[in-house]
Amino acid sequence: MSRLQIAAGNWKMNKNLEEGVALATALVEANPSSDQLVILATPFIHLQAVGAVIKDVPHFKLAAQNCHQAEKGAYTGEISVEMLKSIGVEYVIIGHSERREYFKEDNALLAQKIDAVLAGGLIPIFCCGESLTIREAGTHVDFVANQLKESIFHLSDADFSKLVIAYEPIWAIGTGVTASPAQAQDMQAALRQLIAKQYSQEIADGTSILYGGSVKPANCNDLFSQADVDGGLVGGASLKAEDFTTIIKAL
Ligand code: PEP
C-alpha cells in the first residue's frame, strides 16, 4: 500500500521573517518537482510570506505549529483555526512534546485541538512519543498507545483518515540522539497495528506515520527505508536548506 511520504520541517521559534523567506525560497528552488509532500511549519508571523513563496509549488504545504481549540473569543495572544485557514494554512502540528512539556498540554486538551482543526477543514499532524524514563522502563508502546487513545481514537473513520501522525521519542528531539531505524520501525509498526484494531487495516495502511527526533542527512535514508516510516518531522535540520533538501530527496 502506498502512503503519502512526507518531509515536514518544524522551524519552532527560529528565524526572523527575512531569514524565513530566504529559507523557503532556497527550498523551493532546490526541490522544483516531487511526488512527495513537503510541509513547512513556520512561526505564525512567517506563514503568509512563506505561503506566497510556495504558492505555485503544489507539493509544498504550509503548517502552523499550534492553534487554539476555541473557534474564537477572548483568548489574548492565541490563534484560531479559522485565522490559519484564511491565510492558506493546510496543516497544524498538534501535541508536539515541547507544547506538552512547557505549556502543559495534556491528552484531553489535545483531543479538543484535534477536533477544532478537523472541524475547520485543516489537517492535524498529531505528535506522540515517550520520555527516556518510560523507554527505559519498557512501557513505551503502552504509553504512546494511550496518547492515541485519549487524543485521536474518538475520531470517526472519515476524520481519522485525514490525519498525519508523527512518532517523536522525546529523548531524541533536539538531542542529536536518534532512535535507531529498528526502534522507529518497531514503534511505528505497533502504532499501525493499533490503528488497524481500532479502525481497519485499510485505514491503518493509508495513515502516514512520520518519525521525528534528530533526523538529519546522515540518518534519513536508513530511517525512511523502514516499512512503517513514511517520512520525517524534522526540527534542527529543517533550518538549513541544504540539509532539509537532502532529507526531502531521501523520501
Ligand atoms: C521536532 O521539532 O519535532 C524535532 C524532531 O526536532 P529535531 O529534529 O531537532 O530533533
Residue 1 belongs to some domain of the structure: no
Q: Return the pLDDT at 176.
A: 82
Residue range of the domain that includes 22: 6-249
Which atom of ligand 1 lies nearest, measured to the CA of 93? 3
Residue 113 belongs to some domain of the structure: yes
Reported pTM: 0.97
Which atom of ligand 1 lies nearest, measured to the CA of 237? 8
- 180: domain CATH number is 3.20.20.70
Residue 226 belongs to some domain of the structure: yes
Q: Return the pLDDT at 129.
A: 98
Q: Return the pLDDT at 125.
A: 98
Contact 150, 100 (CB under 8 A): no
- Beta pairing partners, 166: 127, 210
Annotation marks residue 96 as catalytic? yes
**Number of domains making up the chain:** 1
Q: Return the pLDDT at 1.
A: 55
CA angle 191, 192, 198 (to 5 degrees): 90
Mean pLDDT, consecutive 10-residue stretches, the chain (251 aa), reads 90 98 97 88 98 96 98 98 98 98 98 98 98 95 98 98 97 88 98 98 98 96 97 98 96 93
Contact 223, 181 (CB under 8 A): yes
Residue 80 belongs to some domain of the structure: yes
Q: Return the pLDDT at 73.
A: 98
Ligand 1: which of 165, 214, 247 to mutate, judged by most atoms within 8 Å of the beta carbon? 214
Pocket of ligand 1 (CB under 6 A): 10, 12, 168, 173-174, 212-215, 233-237
